[in-house]
Amino acid sequence: MKNRKVLISLFALIVFSVIIYNCSGSGSSGDFSDAASKVYVAPGSYDEFYAFLSGGFSGQVAVYGLPSGRMFKEIGVFSQDPETGYGYSEESKAMLMTSYGFIPWDDAHHPSLSMTSGEQDGRWLFINGNNTPRIARIDLRSFETVEIIETPNSGGNHASPFVTENTEYVVASTRFSLPIPNKDVSISSYKENFTGTVSFISVDKESGKLDLAFQILVPGFNYDIARPGKGHSHGWAFFTSYNSERANTMLEINASQNDKDFIAAVNWKKAEEYIKQGKAKTMEAEYYRNYYDAEKQTAYSEVNRKVLVLNPKDCPGMIYYLPTPKSPHGVDVDPTGEYIAAGGKLATVIPVHSFSKMIKAIEEKQFDGDVEGIPILKYDKVIAGEVEDPGLGPLHTEFDGDGYGYTSAFISSEIVKWKIGTWEVVDRIPTYYSIGHLMIPGGDTKKPWGKYVVALNKITKDRYLPTGPELTQSAQLIDITGDKMKLLLDFPTTGEPHYAQAIPAEILMKNSKRIYELEKNKNPNAVKSEKETRVVRNGNEIRVYMTASRSHFKPDNIEGIKVGDKVYFHVTNLEQDWDIPHGFAVKGLNNGELLIMPGQTKTILWEPKKVGIFPFYCTDFCSALHQEMSGYIRVSPAGSNVPVSYNK
C-alpha cells in the first residue's frame, strides 16, 4: 500500500516535470489565465489608454491601445507615409524639407506629450528626428503631423524633445558634437574644434508654434537624454552626457574610460534672464520650420537664418555639472521634482541626485573644479542615494506616483522596482529581451496614472513566429498594481520603439476629429461642388480640379493631356460622413497615392511619359460601388492638338 502511494507520487512528479519542461520556453511558463482577462478588451469596447510608441528607424509614431496592445494607426512624421500620401502629396511635401533639401526619413525616438502644470493636457505630441536634427509636433485632434522644426548646430538630436512643466519649451541637445558653425576640419582636431549645444525650443501656448528660442554652447561631450525639472525644480533641465573623454574614434572603448561623466543641470530661467540682459550672441544658422496651415490644408516652409546663442563663460550660474557614474544614459525626475535618477549604463548602482542638495551645494560652492568654466559639483554633496544591485546596464526610470521608481536594465534584461528614499530594490521582473526604455502611463509627469509599465525591448529572438532575419520589435505589458510586477502581454511593434507615452483615452477621444468641414476648407485648389470641377491648361501645366464622392469622380474622362505636361490633380473629397475617405491613384504615376479625408483637398503631380489611355481609381473601399469609382485619362503625344476636354 505504501509502495503504491510512492509509485503514484513518483508518476505524478514525472508527469508534472514533463508539463513544466514543455512549458518552459523563454518566459512562457507561468499562469497567464488571469492575465488574459486583464488585457482582454471585448469587441466594440475601448482601451483605457492611448499609447504612442516611437517608430525608431521607421520615422513614424504608432498608436496603440492599452491594455490590449492593439495597434490603431501609424502616423507619418519624418517618413513619407505611402498609406496616406503624407510626404508625397503637394500639400505635405514641405513638411519634410530641411536645410539639406527634402529628407523623407528620420530616426524618431522620444514621443513627449504636452503638459500643463506638469500634467498631461492631451493637446500635442512632440517627437525628435535623431539623424537630421528635427522636432515634430503632432496635433492630437487629427493625429497628424502639423509642424517640424530643424535644430541647427546639432548632430544626433537624441536628448529631445522633453517638455517643461507648462510646455514652455521642448529641450534638445547634441549627441554628436560638431564644429560650430560647421566647417571643414580634421576629425582628430575634435578636442579643439568640436562643441556641443543645448537647445530650447519654445512652444506657443495657444497655437503650439515652435521657435528655436536659444542655444547654449557646451563642452564637446555626447549629450544623451534630458528631463526638465518639475515642481520646485521647474526652471531647470537635466542632460546626461557621456564621452567626457572627448574621444573621436572607437567610442565604445575610448569614451568608457572615466569613472564618472556628467549630468548638466541647466537653469533655463537664468538663461532667459541673461538673454534679457543682452548676453546672447546672434549666430548665423540655416534651419527650416515647416508648418501645416489647417485652413489651407497645406504645409509651408520658412527658412530661419539666425539663432541666439549663450556661452556659459559669459553666464555664471546657468549650468552646473553633476558627476554621475558611468556613461549615464537616462536621466529621470521623480513626480515631486526632488530626485534625479541617472541610468549609468556601465555603472553598478543607480545614482539618484537630490535637487535641494544640489541647490545647497551651489550656494556653498561645493565645487570640484570646472570644465570650460562650468563648475563641477561634488558628488557626495548632491547625491541623495544609490540604488544597489539595480541590474546590469540600467538605462531609464519611470515613476508610479506611489513612491517607487522602475528602472530598465538592458544587459540583465529586467525591470527593477525600487523605493524612493530607502533606495532598496523591492521587486524585479525579467523582460524578453534587453529592454531599452520603459513607460508607465504619465510616469514622467507630476501625476502618473500608474497601473502598467510597458517594457520596450530591443531584441525579440523567439517571442513570436519567426519572419526571416528581420523580426518585429517587442513590447511587454506588465501589471504594477500589486506588490509584485506581473507580466500580462507581449505585443509586436513597428520600427524600433524607443520611448513611448500613454494618456487616458477619455482625454483624447472626445476631441478626435471625424471630418474636415467642407465649408471651412480654404485650400486654394478646393472645389466645393461637382459644378465647379474643371480642367485648365496653362502652357504645359494642367490643373484638374476634381471631386470624389460615393461612388464617382468628377470629371472621370479627361482628354487633351500630352506627354511632357505637368498634371496636378487637385482632388476634393465632398463627403461629410465619418470614416469615408477616398483614395486616388493613376497608372504609371511616379509618386504615390492620395488618401483624402472627408472635406479635404489633396494634390498629386503626374508627369506622363507615355502615350495612351491611363485609368485612375479610388483606392479606399468606400461604398458598394467602389469598384465603379474610376475613370480614364487620354495622353496624346507631345505637340498633338487634342484640345483639353472633360465630362461633368
Partner 1 sequence: MSSRSKYLMIAASLILLGVFMFPIWNINLKAPQYPEGIGLRIWVNQVTGEKEFDLKNINGLNHYIGMKAIEPDTISELKYMPFILVFFIGTGLIISFIKNKKMIFVWILLFLVVMSIGLYDFYLWGYDYGHNLDPTAPIKVPGMSYQPPVIGTKKLLNITATSLPGIGSILILISLSLAAISYFTLKKDKGELNV
Which residues of this protein are in contact with partner 1, per CB under 8 A? 515, 549-550, 575-577, 623-625, 628
Considering the complex, state which of residue 160 and residue 547 has its C-beta at the smaller distance from partner 1: 547
Considering the complex, state which of residue 192 and residue 628 has its C-beta at the smaller distance from partner 1: 628
Considering the complex, state which of residue 187 and residue 624 has its C-beta at the smaller distance from partner 1: 624
C-alpha cell at 70: 492593439
Considering the complex, state which of residue 208 and residue 555 has its C-beta at the smaller distance from partner 1: 555
C-alpha cell at 191: 578636442
Q: How far is the CB of 582 from partner 1 (least distance, A)?
A: 12
Q: How far is the CB of 556 from partner 1 (least distance, A)?
A: 15
Total residues belonging to the chain: 648
Considering the complex, state which of residue 124 and residue 516 has its C-beta at the smaller distance from partner 1: 516
Considering the complex, state which of residue 15 and residue 625 has its C-beta at the smaller distance from partner 1: 625
Q: How far is the CB of 515 from partner 1 (least distance, A)?
A: 7
Considering the complex, state which of residue 42 and residue 624 has its C-beta at the smaller distance from partner 1: 624
Q: How far is the CB of 179 from partner 1 (least distance, A)?
A: 57
Considering the complex, state which of residue 134 and residue 582 has its C-beta at the smaller distance from partner 1: 582
Which letter does DSSP use for residue 539 in this model? T
Residue type, 317: G
Q: Which helix (H) or strand (E) holds 155?
A: none
- Our measurement of the distance from residue 498's CA atom to the centroid of its chain's CA atoms, rounded to an integer in Å, reads 8
Considering the complex, state which of residue 302 and residue 628 has its C-beta at the smaller distance from partner 1: 628
C-alpha cell at 49: 489608454
Count CB atoms within 10 A of the CB of residue 597: 21
Q: How far is the CB of 549 from partner 1 (least distance, A)?
A: 7
Q: How far is the CB of 531 from partner 1 (least distance, A)?
A: 14
Query: What do you get for the CA distance between the two ends of the chain, in Å?
Result: 96
Q: How far is the CB of 600 from partner 1 (least distance, A)?
A: 14
Considering the complex, state which of residue 467 and residue 627 has its C-beta at the smaller distance from partner 1: 627
d(CA 97, CA 540): 26
Task: Give a three-class secondary structure readout of 475-517.
Answer: EEEEECCCCCCEEEEEEEECCCCCCEEEEEHHHHHCCCCCCCC
Considering the complex, state which of residue 414 and residue 575 has its C-beta at the smaller distance from partner 1: 575
Q: How far is the CB of 528 from partner 1 (least distance, A)?
A: 12
Considering the complex, state which of residue 364 and residue 579 has its C-beta at the smaller distance from partner 1: 579
Q: How far is the CB of 521 from partner 1 (least distance, A)?
A: 14
Which letter does DSSP use for residue 86 in this model? B
Q: Which residues, in sequence order, are CB contacts of 384 under 8 Å at separation 6+? A: 338, 339, 352, 353, 354, 357
Question: Are 237 and 263 within 8 A, CB to CB?
Answer: no
Q: How far is the CB of 336 from partner 1 (least distance, A)?
A: 44
What is the residue whose three cell numbers read 514621443?
Answer: 111
C-alpha cell at 84: 496616406
Considering the complex, state which of residue 515 and residue 644 has its C-beta at the smaller distance from partner 1: 515
Considering the complex, state which of residue 90 and residue 575 has its C-beta at the smaller distance from partner 1: 575
Beta bridge partners, 129, equal 108, 134
Q: How far is the CB of 623 from partner 1 (least distance, A)?
A: 8
Question: Are 377 and 322 within 8 A, CB to CB?
Answer: yes
Considering the complex, state which of residue 550 and residue 587 has its C-beta at the smaller distance from partner 1: 550
Q: How far is the CB of 513 from partner 1 (least distance, A)?
A: 13
Question: Are 502 and 66 within 8 A, CB to CB?
Answer: yes
Q: How far is the CB of 576 from partner 1 (least distance, A)?
A: 4
C-alpha cell at 482: 500589486
Pick the closest to residue 332 from 212, 434, 238 (CA basis).
238
d(CA 7, CA 23): 24
Helices and strands, counts by H and E, the chain: 8, 46
Considering the complex, state which of residue 76 and residue 599 has its C-beta at the smaller distance from partner 1: 599
d(CA 200, CA 267): 11
Angle at 101 between CA 95 and CA 102, to 5 degrees: 45
CA distances from 263 to 241, 357, 477 (A): 6, 15, 30
Sign of the dihedral through C-alpha 159, 72, 65, 456:
negative
- Judged by phi (left if over 0) then psi (alpha if -120 to 50, else beta), residue 208 lies in left
d(CA 160, CA 170): 7
CA distances from 318 to 80, 161, 212, 216, 275 (A): 40, 20, 18, 10, 12
Parallel, antiparallel or unpaired: strands 49-54 and 60-66: antiparallel
Q: How far is the CB of 518 from partner 1 (least distance, A)?
A: 9
Question: Are 267 and 319 within 8 A, CB to CB?
Answer: yes
Q: How far is the CB of 552 from partner 1 (least distance, A)?
A: 10
Question: Are 429 and 478 within 8 A, CB to CB?
Answer: yes
d(CA 643, CA 601): 26
Q: How far is the CB of 474 from partner 1 (least distance, A)?
A: 34
